[in-house]
Amino acid sequence: MQTKETLRVFLAEDSAPIRERIAGLLDGGRLRVIGGAATPADCIAGILREQPDVVVLDSQLEGGSGLEVLRAVRRVEPAIAFVVFSNHAQPPYARRYLADGAASVLDKSLDFERLSQAVEAAPAAHRIH
């Protein structure tokens, strides 16, 4: 984990253009994007290798789901916080991710402007769960 001044962020997102957009939005200030991947296996490996403070996680990844990434990482590194950022943020999906330890769930189509704030708040929100 980094100091309070810098939060290291990993992007688990299957769309390269969306990953680039998120990185452009987050990288700078307190947040530093340290990696990203598109498949569940690559996300899990990258997260465990890079040890980010926060993972921005899409619910649908190339060849699998974000939920499998969240569950696999939480088993090994429970201190890593997750912000789910997905087109599937309706209550049933949100409840499932929150029950499995996500700090928050945001809708890509509505909450792009709120993502930085959610990522910055994730480590503290995560400790509450």
Rounded average pLDDT over 107-122: 93
Whole-Å CA distances, 78 to 45, 48, 52, 109 = 15, 11, 12, 29
In tens, the pLDDT along 53-82 reads: 999 999 999 999 999 999 999 999 999 999
What integer best gives the mean pLDDT of the chain?
92
- What are the boundaries of each domain within the chain? 7-128
**pTM beyond 0.85:** yes
- Residues whose CB is less than 8 angstroms from the CB of residue 56 and which lie 6 or more positions away in sequence, other chains included: 9, 10, 11, 12, 13, 22, 26, 83, 85, 115, 119
CATH of 7-128, one of 3.20.20.140, 3.40.50.2300, 3.40.1280.10, 3.40.50.720: 3.40.50.2300
Other residues' Cβ atoms within 10 Å of the Cβ of residue 27: 12
User: Alpha-carbon distance 93 to 120, whole Å?
Assistant: 22
